[in-house]
Structure 1
Amino acid sequence: MAAKEQNKNKIDDSKKRKRGPDTTHKKAFNKGLNKNIPGKDRFEKSNHDDNKTEPKSKRQVRINQKELTEARKKKRKPHYTLEQELALLWEKMRRRNITKEDKSKLATVAIQKMKGTICEIAVSHVSSRVLQTCVKNCSQAERDIVLEEIRPHLLTLSRDTYAVHLVKKILDTASKNQLEGCISSLHGHVASLLRHMVGSVVVEHAYQLANSSQKQSLLSELYSVELQLFKDLASTKEKRLIDIIPKLGLNKASVQRHMASVIQPILEKGILDHSIIHSALIEYLSIADKSSAADVVKQLSGPLLVRMIHTKGGAKLGMLCVKHGSAKERKKIIKGMKGHIGKIANDQYGNTVLGCILSVVDDTKLITKIVIRELQTVLKELVLDKNGRRPLLQLLHPNCPHYAGIGDLASPNLSIPSLCSKGEGSEVNLDLEMEVKLPEVAESCDKGTESDKEEATVASENPKEHGQLLVDGGKKDPSLRRFELLVKSGLAESLVDTCIESAGELLLSNFGKDVIYEVATGGVGGVLHPSVDEKLVALYEAIATLASLPKSSEEAKKDDHVLENFHSSRIIRKLVLDCSAFASTLWKSALEGKCQLWAQGHSSKVISAFLESSDSKIRDMTKSELQPLVDNGLLKIRETKLAGKEG
């Protein structure tokens, strides 16, 4: 029994927690050490007292943190309280259900609170927006107060990320005299501001709002140090740099060096979105030597060019880069446009650059892969758009003055003097190199049209007025390039299919009618024949089907019929005159036996075109039905035309 009890005690001892080494002497040491620490008893007493207080709630903790944050902001921001008051007023001004009078009253209150601190408020992330809203809704007298306060600091505010929006708003609402004063404040600092990402926005905004003389004064500062220092020198009647240099006796080499020092940092930073920079670059290229001009063209050739061609000057620069760039640089330009072709084609100025690429670049495989493929995806939108149709018409009827003004035709013929070979243009705003390119005219529609004959005659007599220009720059035969881009690429088939699908919409459209006419006639020189002849027959039948629809008795719906609509009736008449195949299809499918019904109104012009046709077969086919209408006075036809055909 004694042995069992002994073993049991051993087991119980093993279950007990084993203590570590004896630390009694360490505790005693620390206790003695702590006695020598001053304030130790007070610290322990305060902790003891805190333990007695109740723990704070989460809400109380948040309130304390908020109060602490507010105190720190007040200490850090001198106008923090004012900003809070302005934010409350702004919330009221932003409401949609508030009247203009109430907005004006709130703006007045806010401006009164800000008076004297407007420049500090303008650079604040939140309060600058309040100030912009106040300027928008306040009276002119209150705007004058804001302008007078910020005008001494205009240059500083123009470089601030938030204040720049206020400066733009002030320029928008300024009177003529105030705008003149603001532009004067920029004098001497235009070049430095254009090198600044934010400051350049202010210069461009002022440039867009300025009149002609003010624009010239802003631009002249980029030309030379003399024009930057002496404002009166910039007020010359001459606008172009090549005319200003001899007028003022400036040193051309000095001007070139100064402009290079201004332009190079802008190019390196990529600040190329502004029209004032585009104008400066064009003027620089007009005086630059060969190596400097080639260097600028090389720097611009690439994705940066896409950001420039939305302005008239930018589009000119784009064309200069396409014309004078090497094959490698042209490739970079086209690749940089990848994904943006549709947008460029619809742009007012960008479409001219696209037309220049189609007329100059010899690498048709690259153009087909990038440009043509993207055009095909938005073909229906392009044929109905005023600008989007122009690249297509450039392929169907190159350099036609009817589709583009003489200014647009002149643009592809711009050239850089130092990069031109001898005998080419001597100015960047160039004397146009005019070369008449007579279209290949044949008697039938397959080889040409009656309009082509007339254009060829007029062009030979007066080529400059007719606008037949030679777009040089490529080495490939223009007719071969055109065939590869239009027919071989498959664009022609897609174009005819689109015209068949949307024939009615295109005929009734003021812009689409030109595309469907050029497609139906096969393009200048019959470029579409014989590749898509079968599809063209289907197009003729689609138009004839629309013309065969019954005449509407309601006045409101008369314009919906292709024979009675102003635009469609005239383009169908033109097709009858210029394309015998179409005239024959239209007569047999839609008009034979029904001419008396269509002898009045806009449709009468279509009917009379059959008697005016240059094809004797068409006249003979329709004469038996139309001549009695002419004799009875139901159908009027110009006697000169009729006499000419009979002769």
Structure 2
Amino acid sequence: MNDYDMMDTPVLRRKMKKPTTPKAGRSMRGNPEGNSIIYKDKVKLSTAHPTSDDSGLSTLRKRKKKPTEDDTYAEIEEKHMRRSQSSNFSNVSSSSLEEMTPDTLSQISSIMAVPDVTVNSTLTRLKKPRAGRGDVTWEKAVNHARGAPDGAERSFHAKKMSKVSVIEEVPTPVVKKDSPTKENKPITQGKPVERKKSIKVQLKNAANRLKSLKSKGKLDTSRESRKRKLDISLPDESTIAMKKPKDKEMSWKERRQQRKMTKNNYDLIMKAKKLWEDMRRHALPDDQRQKLCQEVFNMVRGKVHEMSMAHDTARVVQCLVQYGNPEHRTAVMEEIKDEIVSMCKSKYAKFVIRKILKYGSKQQRNFMFKTFHGNVRKLIRHREAVEILEFAYNEYANAPQRLSMMEEFYGPSFTLFKNHDTKSLEQIMLEQPDKKDMILSNMKEALLPLIDKDILAHSMVHKIFHDFFHYATDKMRSEMIECLREQLITMIHTRDGSRVAMNCVWFGTVKDRKVILKSFKTHIARICQDEYGHMVLLAIFDVVDDTKFVSKVVLEEMLKSLSQVAENQYGRKVLLYLLSPRDPLHFHPDIVHILQRGDTNTTSKKDGHTRHRELLDFVSKPLLQYIVDNAATLAINNAALLLILGIITHAKGDPTDAMTAIAEIAAQPFSASKGDNQHMVEHPAGHLTLKRLILNDKERSTDDECAVLFSNILLTVLAEGTLKSWAACNRGCFTLISLLELDDIEVTSQVRQQLSGIKKSLRKMTFKGAQILLQKLEGMSSPPRPQMIDL
């Protein structure tokens, strides 16, 4: 009894009839195009020894079913067919077969009637169609062509099934007496399916193959061979013209132009820009410019806001506002009056608002300030909008409008309920003293978000901080200084900002002062030359006790740029304050009054005179050397006269070298000339330097009898006969008069001795200096008359 005879048993037949029950992991996805009649009665499969690799197949559950007449007929036909073809299946044993049924849609769709599909051992049994069912051949063909749906389970993977050879039996249709017979197709034995290599493996193999060919020299990589293989032929010019150029073939400018052409109003924008090029020319007559303005206005009417948001069309609108007539500006204003706040935040539209503020009427400016009301605190924190607020506040706002902008920082009540009689915060504090704490707390809350490097650069913000520091308590002031101390470098270029920095220096702690000084590093030379920033350095010299730290951070950097500082009018103020602080000869009483406010601070402990002496000792020697190195330019510079006097008078050390350097310039041979080659005695600034240095000897000799006098050094350096040559000019005569009026017997007698032989020449001269000098010489030559006593 062969294997197929063993299979033809009632028990096995009952196993083949038993349907399967879906497992728990079975996909519940239905047929994509509705229920199919072929899935209502599943095809029963027989597999050989399912292993652990056959994860997609599940064991069929057996159920008892009474065999019908049709089933018996089909079994008999199948039995005869298996016996006739037993030679082809001799390698299959009965123990290797087991009833299996696919569980999911993907398993059903993966069973194809071609030898490429691998199943362990598949025997397809033809079953007689039941009554009431149609032919399912077409639907099976459709399912076979469609394959597994997306997401279906890959239960019949080739990787798991490739080891088992496939024996597939093609079903033979049941032949009845009333139907024509058909030829049975031969049963073919399938080949094992080879595992396909992945793309990554194929690329790797190809690269290795290419490398081996190159190494063996079998691969020709020359340019001629590539040209022969490619055989490229250039297209005709007509073909190139017909093709649309690709983005890669176009240049950057061409791609940009193509993008612009896709935008709205492209033709209108290009025409307006051409008119703008002619309209903005300075040499264009006014009548032609007005015609162009009218044409541009007709183009942009109704689109002003849209065109103001782009960088090129915004310039067209700006030019229209600048050169247009009042009617054009009014029309533009009407279009954008509801978008003023949003345009202030735009990178390009803000310049249109700036032009309206500059060239608009007074009513239009007032409308702008009314629009800003209630939005100042938001706009001032915006990087673009704060520039418009700054421009409007400094250039066109009057006192009530400035206060209106400031009141938003005083509290919501001042924003909602405006009092037009109020003109300043000082007036509010006097009239409503009970609101002082509320105003200061609101100001503090509003000012803390403004401590940003970009926002702190504007004078409007500086005004708010200055008002806060003026009225704040010690505790609130200390808290604000701690937050603001590292950002003061961005504020000291304005009047209010410098006052804020001075308050931080005066009332800050020792740590606060050190942080402030460190933040000034690399900026000292610029601060010295600033109109308001140099005041901060004066405050530092007054109150900071750590003079070594000040010398290291401030003075060393300043002395490195001493020539730049000394040539600037504000830089000379800093140097003079180090030489003689709060001297009324150099500093206005108002400046002194401002600096005196810092004397009440509680942080400074060192005596002011001691602090000043330590700083002066550090700068004296470099300043004296500066005069020696630059005597030629300083002696004839009228602005540097006070600095020279201050250095020679107050600097610690021997000023002999500095005086000698100036005296040597005056000792040069005198020749009457005009222009740049004038002698120091005849120069408008040089003769004043000599006179002031000579008159300064009176004060020096009074204060210190051992002091070095410039007059003695001058007479020592001058050659014989030099004083007589000075008498040839008016300014030289006045210099000689200064020497004669000096209360020094040695100097006076020496000058008189050298001028004794020029009296006749002085009588012939007509200028005023010669006459006064002659009177001085004659008066000194005659002995004094005795006074008559009335008896």
TM-score, with normalisation over the residues of structure 2? Answer: 0.60
1:319 partner amino acid: M
1:566 partner amino acid: P
Does residue 344 (structure 1) correspond to residue 540 (structure 2)? The answer is no
- Structure 1 partner of 2:355: 169
**Greater displacement, 336-345 / 177-186:** 177-186
Does residue 555 (structure 1) correspond to residue 674 (structure 2)? The answer is yes
> Residues 242 and 287 of structure 1 are in contact (CA less than 8 Å); yes or no, is this contact kept in structure 2?
no
Q: 1:604 aligns with which of 721, 733, 753?
A: 733
- 1:301 offset after TM fit, Å? 0.9
- Structure 1 partner of 2:687: 569
- Structure 2 partner of 1:578: 696
Does residue 187 (structure 1) correspond to residue 317 (structure 2)? The answer is no
1:478 partner amino acid: G
Equivalent residues in 2 for 1:288-303 (5 A)? 288-302=472-486
- Structure 2 partner of 1:430: none
Q: 2:467 aligns with which of 283, 291, 302?
A: 283
- Structure 2 partner of 1:230: 417
The percent identity for this pair of structures is 28
| Inter-CA distance 338–100: structure 2 relative to 1 (3 Å threshold) | farther
| Inter-CA distance 178–622: structure 2 relative to 1 (3 Å threshold) | farther
| Inter-CA distance 144–617: structure 2 relative to 1 (3 Å threshold) | farther
- 1:212 offset after TM fit, Å? 3.5
SS at match of 2:409: coil
Q: 1:120 aligns with which of 306, 323, 346?
A: 306
- 1:609 offset after TM fit, Å? 1.7
| Inter-CA distance 108–63: structure 2 relative to 1 (3 Å threshold) | farther
- 1:540 offset after TM fit, Å? 1.6
1:301 partner amino acid: R
Q: 2 CA distance for matches of 1:136 and 1:402? A: 49
**Greater displacement, 110-119 / 332-341:** 110-119
Deviation string, structure 1 residues 521-560 (Cα, Å, up to 9, x no partner): 2x1xxx412xxx2xx32222221122123444333347x4
SS at match of 1:348: coil
- CA RMSD, Structure 1 to Structure 2 (Å): 3.9
> Residues 89 and 110 of structure 1 are in contact (CA less than 8 Å); yes or no, is this contact kept in structure 2?
yes
Q: 2 CA distance for matches of 1:59 and 1:330? A: 76
- Structure 2 partner of 1:494: 622
Q: 1 CA distance for matches of 2:745 and 2:360? A: 68
- Structure 1 partner of 2:510: 327
> Residues 222 and 262 of structure 1 are in contact (CA less than 8 Å); yes or no, is this contact kept in structure 2?
yes
Q: 1:130 aligns with which of 310, 316, 321?
A: 316
SS at match of 1:509: coil
Equivalent residues in 2 for 1:174-253 (5 A)? 174-209=360-395, 210-231=397-418, 233-237=419-423, 239=424, 241-248=425-432, 251-253=435-437
Q: Tell which has more relative contact order, 1 or 2 (C-alpha 8 A, sep 6+).
A: 1
- 1:205 offset after TM fit, Å? 0.9
> Residues 308 and 314 of structure 1 are in contact (CA less than 8 Å); yes or no, is this contact kept in structure 2?
yes
Q: 2 CA distance for matches of 1:623 and 1:326? A: 62
Q: 1 CA distance for matches of 2:401 and 2:514? A: 39
Q: 2 CA distance for matches of 1:408 and 1:224? A: 33
Give the unaligned 5+ runs of structure 1: 1-23, 38-53, 422-472
2:565 partner amino acid: L
Equivalent residues in 2 for 1:18-37 (5 A)? none
- 1:412 offset after TM fit, Å? 2.5
Give the number of the structure whose alpha-carbon radius of gyration is greater.
Answer: 2
> Residues 384 and 509 of structure 1 are in contact (CA less than 8 Å); yes or no, is this contact kept in structure 2?
no
- 1:139 offset after TM fit, Å? 4.6
Q: 2 CA distance for matches of 1:517 and 1:68? A: 69
Q: 2 CA distance for matches of 1:301 and 1:177? A: 42
1:285 partner amino acid: F
2:731 partner amino acid: H
Q: 1 CA distance for matches of 2:426 and 2:456? A: 23
2:401 partner amino acid: Q
Q: 2 CA distance for matches of 1:35 and 1:85? A: 65
- Structure 1 partner of 2:72: none
2:612 partner amino acid: R
- Structure 1 partner of 2:638: 510
- 1:144 offset after TM fit, Å? 4.0
Richer in helix (by share) = 1
Deviation string, structure 1 residues 304-340 (Cα, Å, up to 9, x no partner): 1111000000111111111111111111111111111
| Inter-CA distance 138–514: structure 2 relative to 1 (3 Å threshold) | farther
TM-score, with normalisation over the residues of structure 1? Answer: 0.72
Does residue 622 (structure 1) correspond to residue 774 (structure 2)? The answer is no
Q: 1 CA distance for matches of 2:405 and 2:680? A: 53
1:582 partner amino acid: F
Deviation string, structure 1 residues 169-215 (Cα, Å, up to 9, x no partner): 32222344433332232223223322333222221111111233433
Equivalent residues in 2 for 1:431-470 (5 A)? none
Q: 1 CA distance for matches of 2:475 and 2:271? A: 60
Q: 1 CA distance for matches of 2:258 and 2:422? A: 59
Does residue 636 (structure 1) correspond to residue 764 (structure 2)? The answer is no
Q: 2 CA distance for matches of 1:354 and 1:59? A: 75
